[in-house]
Amino acid sequence: MLYPEMNEARNIMDLGGAWLFRLDDGKHSEGYADPAFFDEANLMAVPAAYNDLNEDPAFRSHCGWAYYKRSFTIPRTLASERLVLRFDAVTHYAKVYLDGELVAEHKGGFLPFEVDATGKIVPGRESELIVAVSNRIDHSTLPMGNEEGTAFFGSDNADVPSVIAAKAWRKPVNLPNFDFFNYAGIIRPVRLYTTPKEYIQDISITTEVSGNDGIVSFDVETSVPGRVSITIEDREGKTVAAGSDKLVIKDAHLWWPYPGDPYLYKATVMFGSDVYTLNVGIRTVEVNGTGFLINGKPFYFKGFGKHEDSAIHGRGFDFVLDVKDISMIHWMNANSFRTSHYPYAEEMYDLCDREGIVIIDETPAVGIGGTSEDIYKVGRFQEHHRAIIHDLIKRDRNHPSVVMWSMGNEPDVVTFPDSAYDYWHSLYEYTKTLDKQCRPVTFVCNQNNYERDRITREMDVVCINRYYGWYNLSGDMDAACYALNLELDFWEKICKPVILTEYGADTLPGFHLSVPEMFSEEFQTMYYDRINSELDKRSFIIGEHPWNFADFSTIQGPMRADGNRKGLLTRDRRPKAAAHYFRKRWGDIPSFGYKET
């Protein structure tokens, strides 16, 4: 799906701002509020997560529907245009009503959807837009919520009669099977954009390198058959290639990750009176033995698992924060991150293309498990998971920064290993069919019985989250390193590239100790130094992603004091001591050829 663009053929109107908003009062049928319901409404910022924008505790703990409303009128001069209403992300389920008519329903909180509103929105006449949003999570949603009555961080004393009774008595609650706050609402921009009546529907590009030349193949979908013409300009604005599908750029500049030059060409696609421009980065990606090659050279991932998370905005789109995060990524001499645990706002991918930051692009399939039964049999998420992978690849396939797809994070793959194998194997094969650039495919596995887990080893790159020294062997870094090495001996025999996609320690900024114990800044630095020394001895380890880039909000519970504190940065992006440690370490580690033998 193409990102909305303003150019000589297309216009954009932003529908962000202060909308009317009300949490469901339990009296409305699933996902519809009549306009009178808004008589007692609050004001709500769009885009933003609604949870932290009101002091009524119901906003944070709400479970179910919430309603947004606004009116608008667009200029009469747009009468001859095609009008498209686009939502970049509504978390997790949306019903959209235009002047009382249901015009769209969308499941999944982190990918865009749009409605052709031509004829429904009449230029010069006021339109009323109501959006019903559900934040409900269960075994049919991704991320997944628990249905057996226990939140991620609470054992809830399963056989205590009074606790059982209280659980049955309380009003419905979301029980996330994942460790980040379930922020909800219209979290990304809402826009109306125009195209000519005959228009470019979609564009997919693939890039190859042949000798010194770059070959860029375009697959352009149009609303009606017709001739497409394409030109490519270099950074100076000079046309370097022209054609209709396969364009050759002589002596091409390749796109290189930071600190190399992330060179971008500008492609202009023309069809009738429609025009769409996009950045094109020419680079190759492949796995070879235990190497991950970008432009044929072995790349070393230095970076993080991240979240879209900040004070007040929650998970709401925040361009200022994204620019700051890119600056901090550069400051720490990192070159990559994983979009843990959901696709991020498209603006971030565009920044990464331009800044040379490499992305492992992850779906919101987090929390698959958490039940005593076989989740692959009792769950109702499978079709949805496929649809997400399909839409994710369609959205992000043209970004040179995206080098690998992650189908999900930490599913249960050991309780029912055969079901897990069948499920993930077929999803892997499906994902492979969708990407013409044939990027590597993976999923990220949790600390488990790696001998029993049959599927992680089948991924193109083995991505493992490990907390030796934190959740197990807590504080004992000698034992932690011993255990880590036993496991790494196992992975060495698998002969695949391995990335440590998560490892970390909760750390309270400003808590200092002379003897480094857990939660102190000294422990966090020592923990990373000890683990990294072991990673450095293994040539098949091709990346290190500490967990997490910054502290972030989670559900309340006995394991979390003011959220997850494993950030190298605080939630407001101030460095802890470990951030300085990594800045130095990564300054000394090249992006290419670090472990070349």
Catalytic residues: 410, 502
- The answer to whether the CB of 408 falls within 8 A of the CB of 366 is yes
Least spacing, CB of residue 502 vs ligand BDP, in Å? 5
Residue 369 vs 575, nearer CB to ligand BDP: 369
d(CA 218, CA 198): 19
d(CA 568, CA 362): 21
Binding mask 286-325 for ligand BDP (x = CB under 6 A): ----------------------------------------
Among 134, 446, 524, 591, binds ligand BDP (CB under 6 A): 446
Least spacing, CB of residue 179 vs ligand BDP, in Å? 4
Binding mask 129-168 for ligand BDP (x = CB under 6 A): ----------------------------------------
Beta bridge partners of 85: 115, 192
Distance between first and last Cα of the chain: 42
d(CA 282, CA 213): 10
Residue 87 vs 470, nearer CB to ligand BDP: 470
Binding mask 530-559 for ligand BDP (x = CB under 6 A): -----------------x------------
Residue 263 vs 523, nearer CB to ligand BDP: 523
Residue 456 vs 564, nearer CB to ligand BDP: 564
d(CA 331, CA 326): 9
465: contact with ligand BDP by CB under 6 A: yes
Token readout for 460 is 């193109």
Least spacing, CB of residue 501 vs ligand BDP, in Å? 8
Least spacing, CB of residue 465 vs ligand BDP, in Å? 5
Q: Give the nearest residue (CB) to ligand BDP.
A: 179
177: contact with ligand BDP by CB under 6 A: no
409: contact with ligand BDP by CB under 6 A: yes
- The answer to whether the CB of 437 falls within 8 A of the CB of 418 is no
User: Which amino acid would we find at residue 85?
Assistant: L
Least spacing, CB of residue 392 vs ligand BDP, in Å? 19
Least spacing, CB of residue 456 vs ligand BDP, in Å? 14
Residue 284 vs 465, nearer CB to ligand BDP: 465
* Contacts with 20 (C-beta within 8 Å, 6 or more apart), sequence order: 38, 41, 42, 43, 44, 68, 69, 70
Residue 230 vs 462, nearer CB to ligand BDP: 462
Residue 11 vs 446, nearer CB to ligand BDP: 446
Among 81, 391, 502, 544, binds ligand BDP (CB under 6 A): 502
Q: Strand (E) positions, 211-344? A: 213-222, 228-233, 239-243, 246-249, 265-271, 274-280, 285-288, 291-294, 297-298, 301-305, 336-338
Token readout for 209 is 């390198």
d(CA 465, CA 426): 23
Binding mask 89-128 for ligand BDP (x = CB under 6 A): ----------------------------------------
d(CA 259, CA 579): 19
d(CA 330, CA 260): 12
Residue 45 vs 480, nearer CB to ligand BDP: 480
- The answer to whether the CB of 16 falls within 8 A of the CB of 190 is yes
Least spacing, CB of residue 568 vs ligand BDP, in Å? 13
Residue 395 vs 566, nearer CB to ligand BDP: 566
571: contact with ligand BDP by CB under 6 A: no
Bridge pairing between strands 274-280 and 291-294:
unpaired
CA neighbor of 263 nearest in space, from 220, 322, 216: 216
Binding mask 328-357 for ligand BDP (x = CB under 6 A): -------------x----------------
DSSP code per residue over 5-67:
--SSS--EEE--EEEEEEE--S-S-TT---GGGGGGPEEEEESS-STTS-SSTHHHH--SEEE
- The answer to whether the CB of 506 falls within 8 A of the CB of 564 is yes
Least spacing, CB of residue 466 vs ligand BDP, in Å? 9
d(CA 104, CA 288): 44
- Tell me, by CB under 6 A, how many residues bind ligand BDP: 10
Q: What is the DSSP letter of 138?
A: S
Residue 358: half-sphere exposure toward Cβ, Cα within 13 Å: 30
566: contact with ligand BDP by CB under 6 A: yes
Binding mask 179-218 for ligand BDP (x = CB under 6 A): x---------------------------------------
Q: Inter-axis angle of helices 319-331 and 346-355, to 10 degrees?
A: 30
Least spacing, CB of residue 284 vs ligand BDP, in Å? 30
Among 333, 336, 564, 591, binds ligand BDP (CB under 6 A): 564
Least spacing, CB of residue 406 vs ligand BDP, in Å? 11
Residue 153 vs 592, nearer CB to ligand BDP: 153
* Contact set with ligand BDP (CB under 6 A): 179, 341, 409-410, 446, 465, 502, 547, 564, 566
